[in-house]
Amino acid sequence: MRKVTSKNKVNNPNIKKENKDITSVENQLSQMFKDHDRVLASLLGQVTQGISPAALLYAFADWLLHLSISPGKQFYLCHKAYKKYLTLINFMKDFILGKAEFPCIDPLPQDKRFADETWRHWPFNVFYQSFLLVQQWWWNATTDVSGVSQHHIEIVTFIVRQILDMASPSNFIMTNPEVLAKTYETQGTNLVQGFLNYLEDRKLERCHELPNGAENHLPGESVAITPGKVVFQNDLIELIQYFPMTEKVYKEPILIVPAWIMKYYILDLSPHNSLVRHLVQEGHTVFIISWKNPSRQDENLGLNDYMKLGVLEAIQAVEKITGQQQMHAVGYCLGGTILAITKAYLARCKDNRLKTLTLLATQTDFLEPGELGLFIDESQITFLENYMWSKGYLDASNLSGAFQILNSKDLIFSKNVQTYLLGERQVMTDLMAWNADKTRLPYKMHSEYLRKLYLHNQLALGKYEVEGENITLYDITTPIFCVATSRDHVAPWRSVYKIHLLTKSEITFVLTNGGHNAGIISEPNHPGRHYQATTRFHHENYIDPEVWERQTSISKGSWWSMWSNWLKKHSSQNLHMPPSMGTKEEPYQAKMAAPGQYVHMRT
C-alpha cells in the first residue's frame, strides 16, 4: 500500500479546496452573527435615538466606582447637602417673617425659566429655589471626582442635567405659577388648546409633514426665492446660478458650499435676510450647491465622494460657465469642512482656482468639539454605525434630536410648556421652518465623518487621505475669512479659532454674537448684532483665544458689511458684464428655475 506523506497532504488539491470551503463557511457564520448583533443594535437604537446604552453605562460606572472609593468626596457632598438644606430652611423662615429680600440662589444667566415675577410668590419660590440648590449639588457630585476620565465626567454631568431639566417645577401644571394663572384666567381652555396642539403635532410627526406654521415658509414660495437657474445636476448636487442684480459684476464668481446636514436655503431665506441676495446685490456672480437628500441607494457615498461629486464638480462648472480661472469659495458648517479639505487637496495639486476661502461656523480641528463630543467615542460610533446599517442612512429625526438634546432646556422643555401647557404656539419664523425641513445622512459618509474627523482628528493632524495621499491644511496659503458664533453648540468658537494653528494663511477671524444659525444669518440693520474681528498676518504670532477675546474691541452691527469689503478687497477692481446663465451645451445648460428639485426631497 502506498503511504501518503505530509507533503502530499499539503499539495493535495482536494484538501486545499476543503480547507478553503471551511474558511468560507466560518467567515459566513461570523458575518451572520455580526449581522444579528447589528439588527439588535438597530432595534435598540430606535428606542435610544441612536445613543449607545453601553457608552452611558460605562461612563456612570466609572464615575460611581471612583466616587465609592473617595470617602473625602462623599463627606464633602454630605456637607454641601446639609449646608444647602440649612440655606433653604433659613430662606423659608426669612420669607415668612418678611425678611427675605433676595432669593438664596439665582439661576444661571441663560436660564429664563424662572424669570416671571410669579415665581417670587409662596410656595413657588420654594419650589424653584430648592430645584436650583439640588441642581447645584448634583453638579458638585458629578464633577471633580478623582480618577474619572474627563470624557466620562462630561457625559455624566450632561445626562444628570437632562434628568434634572425634566424634573424642573416649570414643567408641571401644579408647580408652575404661570400655567396656573393662565388656567384660572382662561378657565382651563389653555390646557384644552395645548392638548389639541399635542395631537396635531403627533399627527404631523407620524405623517412626516412639516410642523404647524411651516407651510408659510416653503422654498420657492416665500423662502429661497432669489431668482436663479439650475445650471448643473448630478446624482449628488444641483448647482444654482443666480441672476445678476447689477449692471456690472466683479470678475471672480462666488461658489457657496452649504452643509448637507440641512437644506441649502438657510443662506437664502426671506429676501430681507438672504445672504445670497445680499451678495448678488453687492455685484457678485453667485453659485450655490443644493445637496440631494440621500436614500438607501446612496449608502456607500463617502466623505471624499462629497468632495469629488460635490465641490470639485461645482468648481469645474463655475469655471466653464464664467470663463474665470479663479473664484471665491464660501463654506458653511460641514460644507466649510469639506471645502477646507478640497482646498488642501487642490494646494497639493498646485491648483489655485480658489482665490479665497470664507469659512462660516466651520471646524477644522475636532479635538474640542463641545458637547457634541459627548456622543463621540468608539462605543457610541460603533452603535450608531450598526443603527444606520439597517437603513443605509441616519434618519433626520435622530440628527435633529441630537441637536435638540444639546439645548433641551430651551428647545424641548420650555417649548413644551408654552405649546402644551400655556396653549400658545410659537410664531413660526423662516429660520424655524428651515430648521424643521430635515435631511438624511448616508451611512458611509456619516461613519467616515465621525471616525476620521471627530474621533481621530485626521484633518488637523495631517493624516486625512485623498487618493492614497495625506493632505494638510498647512499647504493652504490663500486668504481666509473665518466666522464663529459666541453661543454655538455645534461648532464652539474656540474650536473654530484653531484654524490659526493649522495654516500659514492670512486669517481674518470674526466672532459674532448669536448661535450656530442665527449668528450667521445676521443681515445689516438686524437689531442687537455685534462682533469682534482682527486679521492675523503671515508674520504675526499666535494669540490664545481667551487673550484674543479680551483684547479685541467690539463693533456694533452685522459682520456682513465687513465681509463685503473684504471680498471686494480681494477681487479684481475692474467690473465687467455678467456672464451668461449656464452654457449653451450640456452639462452646464440652464435647466429649471431655482430652487430646483433636490430642495423639495423630503424625509
CA distance 266 to 273: 10
Which residues on adjacent β-strands are paired with residue 556?
Answer: 530
Cβ atoms within 10 Å of 83's Cβ, excluding its own: 12
Which residues on adjacent β-strands are paired with residue 466?
Answer: 469
Which are the contacts of 61, defined by CB distance < 8 A and separation ≥ 6? none
Grid coordinates representing 249 are: 459684476
| Residue where the block lists cell 435647466 | 591
CA dihedral 546, 549, 552, 555 (to 10 degrees): 180
**Main-chain phi, psi angles of 277, to 5 degrees:** -60, -40
- Annotation marks residue 333 as catalytic: yes
Helix H, strand E, coil C: the string for 181-220 is: HHHHHHCCHHHHHHHHHHHHHHHHHHCCCCCCCHHHCCEC
Q: Where are the beta strands (DSSP E) in 313-367?
A: 327-332, 354-360
Is residue 39 classed as helix, strand or coil in its secondary structure? helix
Task: Give how far Cα 160 sits from Cα of 56, 60, 143, 153, 163, Å.
Answer: 11, 10, 11, 11, 5
Task: Give how far Cα 535 sits from Cα of 397, 557, 570, Å.
Answer: 40, 18, 14
Sign of CA dihedral 146, 147, 151, 156: negative
Which are the contacts of 25, defined by CB distance < 8 A and separation ≥ 6? none
- DSSP assignment of 453-495: IIIT-HHHHT-EEETTEEE-GGG--S-EEEEEETT-SSS-HHH
CA distance 276 to 265: 9
Grid coordinates representing 74 are: 462623599
Query: Do residues 310 and 294 lie in contact, with contact meaning Cβ atoms separated by under 8 Å?
Result: no
Q: Say whether the peptide bond before residue 579 is cis (omega within 30 degrees of 0).
A: no
CA distance 53 to 557: 45
| Residue where the block lists cell 431668482 | 227
CA distance 193 to 190: 5
Which are the contacts of 117, defined by CB distance < 8 A and separation ≥ 6? none
Query: Do residues 249 and 578 lie in contact, with contact meaning Cβ atoms separated by under 8 Å?
Result: yes
Grid coordinates representing 179 are: 400655567
Query: Do residues 61 and 402 lie in contact, with contact meaning Cβ atoms separated by under 8 Å?
Result: no
Cβ atoms within 10 Å of 590's Cβ, excluding its own: 17
Grid coordinates representing 133 are: 440648590
Q: Spot the catalytic one: 78, 104, 207, 333.
A: 333
Query: Do residues 191 and 135 lie in contact, with contact meaning Cβ atoms separated by under 8 Å?
Result: no
**Main-chain phi, psi angles of 459, to 5 degrees:** -65, -45
Q: Which residues are catalytic?
A: 333
